[in-house]
Amino acid sequence: MKLKQHLADRDIVELRAFARNQGLIIENHVAEGSFASELAREMLNPEHVREVWEDLSPQAREALAYLLQDVKGVPTLAFERRFGEIRRIGPGSLQQDQPWKHPQGAGEELWWLGWLARSFREIDDEMVEFISIPEDLRPLLPVDVQNPAEMPFPKPVPAPKVERSLGQMLLDDLGTLLGFVQTHPVKLRADGRWRYGDLKKLQSRLRLSSIRKQPLEAGGPLHLIFFAAKQMGLIVERGGFQRFGQALRPWLEKSREEQMASLFHTWREAETWNDLCLTPGLRCQEGAWTNHPRLAREALLEQLQRAEPGAWYDLDDFVGMIYESMPDFQRPDANYDTWYIQNAAGDFLRGFEHWPAVEGAMIRYIWQGPLFWLGAVALDESGHRWRLTSQGHGFFHGVEPVGQPDAPVLEISKDFTITLRPHIGLWDRLRVELFTFWQASEPVYRYQITQRGLKRARRRGVSAQRVLAFLERASGGNVPDNVRRSLERFSSFSPPRRRS
């Protein structure tokens, strides 16, 4: 919107107030219909703009610099929250109250100079009022708008004595889920969810199950594993059972680093993983409102990327930075009265005063939850300090597959126990799961070769001879003689055919 258009929308009382505060004298003979045009011409004189600028309060200059960072302006609610309300006074009271003589804050100071314009934009099917600077006035203001100041990032803090980092543990637990689906007939409930008994069996095998007291809760690590597996098509529902999806095979061919990156980006780009409504202690109630999880998440991750490699930061400082510099990161209309969110006690959290309990809590959940589980950030013991990991840095700047070492990926004992090495790929791990039974996940994965497992593999078309060939390769040829002989005997045994 240009200045002339903005002035044309104001009544003559406001226009004369603008002229008076600008120190301009518009001749009395100028017709009322031409007053706005003449005033706009005078106000756009570059020398006059500089003179008005010199008389501005520091707060008004700050407000202009704030608005100049976005040519579209900012929501009126956000602007007024920071620089004071611009009172709306009806024509009947305007001349009597004369608010231009005593502006209440930087917002009104600029408004009664005629330097601020109101307009409306559609956001989420609703019309939202914005405050902006007229476009032909913007280049005349002595503010560097080409390089607006970047919000100050928190300063690093001392490194903790104890660091918690999960690395690729979430990927390992996803492998556990895939192995469970491969070896168990997982019948789904009518709503497509797993039965509680199967979930409890799976939970006992997970490494992440010790991280939270209730690993099966919504928004927990197991929820994220299931969500990512379904989003990527690794597991699907077929005939009422959980089955492998067609996307699994090409995904298994990727390196562990690429697989971890795919998990991160699945979460990062998801529209249906709602961090806000999954934040512990918050309850989202249904209503005529909606939020945009991906856009909010992206705004926070953009700031995360500014962290110095290896530096530690206080999470409270980071939350404070967002609060001071971009509080409306997930509410583009800056309206804090339209979302139906309750705390654990059932109290509705409406109004900007509840920002720490809503936005602040959500940021902490993202850092201490998904980003931590995905290995993107490391935490101290309390979860109050964090750093961006090298793996997290790779998520944003591209990952390079790490060549697998030549060392064997598993070790076989004479008691038919298989111990997996940490660097084993998920494809090889699924091969092991096919002909064995799980024994332990901590401190290392251990499986037991059994006749039942070998029979299961044979029913799936994998002979004991193929199992032995795999074990020879995966162990570097270190298959105990008794294990080799047993597999050879099992391979030579042909089960009796069923009579027709």
- Look at residue 500 in the predicted model and tell me its pLDDT: 44
Q: Which two tokens stand for residue 482?
A: 């008794």
Listed in sequence order, the residues at least 6 apart from 38 whose beta carbon sits closer than 8 Å to its beta carbon are 26, 30
Q: pTM for the whole thing?
A: 0.88
pLDDT at 383 over 80: yes
Q: Coil, strand or helix: which one is 188?
A: strand
Q: What mean pLDDT do residues 387-397 have?
A: 96
Which pLDDT band holds residue 91 (cuts at 50, 70, 90)?
confident
pLDDT tens sequence across 3-58: 999 999 998 889 999 999 999 987 665 666 688 899 999 999 999 999 999 999 99
Q: Are 118 and 136 in contact (CB under 8 A)?
A: no
Q: Are 242 and 181 in contact (CB under 8 A)?
A: yes
If we measure between CA atoms, which residue out of 152, 148, 151 comes closest to residue 71? 148
pLDDT tens sequence across 224-272: 999 999 999 999 999 999 999 999 999 999 999 999 999 999 999 999 9
If we measure between CA atoms, which residue out of 378, 384, 438, 376 comes closest to residue 224? 376
Strand blocks (E) in 133-193 = 163-164
- Look at residue 398 in the predicted model and tell me its pLDDT: 85
- Domain ranges for the chain: 3-140, 163-327+360-397, 410-492
3-state DSSP helix/strand/coil % of the chain, to nearest 5? 45, 15, 40
Dihedral of the alpha carbons of 284, 288, 289, 294, in degrees to the nearest 10: 90
Q: How many CA atoms lie within 13 A of 84 on its CB side?
A: 15
Any idea how long the chain is? 500
Q: How many CA atoms lie within 13 A of 403 on its CB side?
A: 3
